[in-house]
Amino acid sequence: MMSGESMFIEGNTYEKWGQCQPGDCELSCCQHFSKRGEAAPGMPGDLYSGVKQVQSQTTQTRMESITMKTIGLMGGMSWQSTVGYYRQINEGINKALGGLHSGRIVMHSVDFEPINKLQIKGDWAGAATILASSAQSIQAGGADFLVICTNTMHIVAEEIEAVIQIPILHIADATAEVLMAEGVGTVGLLGTAFTMEKDFYKGRLSDKYGLKVVAPNDADRKVVHDVIFQELCLGSFQDHSRQEFLRIIEDLALQGAEAVILGCTEIGMLVKQTDTEVMLCDTTAVHAARAVEYALKTD
């Protein structure tokens, strides 16, 4: 076969080797001939070898142009919200990269029941031991950074950080950065009683970012806490509970909150921005988006 002739291979008419012009076809003439992974009839062997080398280099260049870190997810607290993390992270990666791209993820999902019992007892050291072991497993699995898929258990973030070498993307930092970008100075906080009452979360928002934090009164804190553990963590989303949350959100706004943090990763499944005119900061969505950003960030 001479240069300039067409050829027919497995039902495909291939263009003239050596004479394709830019725009003539989707594939270069070289790629036409190597579509089957072998030299086309009449193609000189040295040309075919060169084609394969070019293709290999092109594929490698394309792979190197996509830099993605491996995301470590510590889930299970509760698994209801962990599903949201996994979905939103993969959606974010796909939106950024297109095609069939998804996140490189290493996940370890813990059993929440024993951890909840330790929470109730106030045995944070015991809980930290469990989560530190989980973090080490995630690191050993190849994660480049860690996302703790819960607000409350960031109470032991420092203990976890002490036993791993990869960074933790702190959920309060991700949340505060979004609020600061929106010009919010006073923010309401909903979450478990531990998150609303202890200083590990409120203190980080105020000390590191200068945010004024407003929490519900005692009775409303109990309402929020009970709904989280008795309904949301079990996948139950009741309209009467939604109305109670909306009432509490409105009350926080009356106290001066310019936005309200949904500071439990399950609350965003119950209350949506479309339910209220008060600005809501869904920590699951914010944290997942921050993980996507960090995974695709060029160091």
Beta-carbon contacts of residue 163 (< 8 Å; ≥ 6 apart)? 132, 135, 136
β-partners of residue 186 are 212
Radius of gyration of the chain, Cα coordinates, nearest whole angstrom: 27
Return phi, psi of residue 211, to 5°: -85, 140
Least Cα distance to 84 among 283, 293, 295 occurs for 283
Q: Catalytic residue, from 82, 150, 192, 284: name it.
A: 150
What are the start-end ranges of the E strands in the chain?
A: 7-9, 12-14, 71-75, 105-109, 145-148, 186-190, 212-214, 259-262, 279-282
- Catalytic residue at 195? no
Q: Catalytic residue, from 195, 264, 281, 283: name it.
A: 264
Beta-carbon contacts of residue 177 (< 8 Å; ≥ 6 apart)? 209, 290
- The DSSP output letter for 134 is H
Beta-strand pair 259-262/145-148 = unpaired
SS3 7: strand
Residue numbers annotated as active site: 150, 264
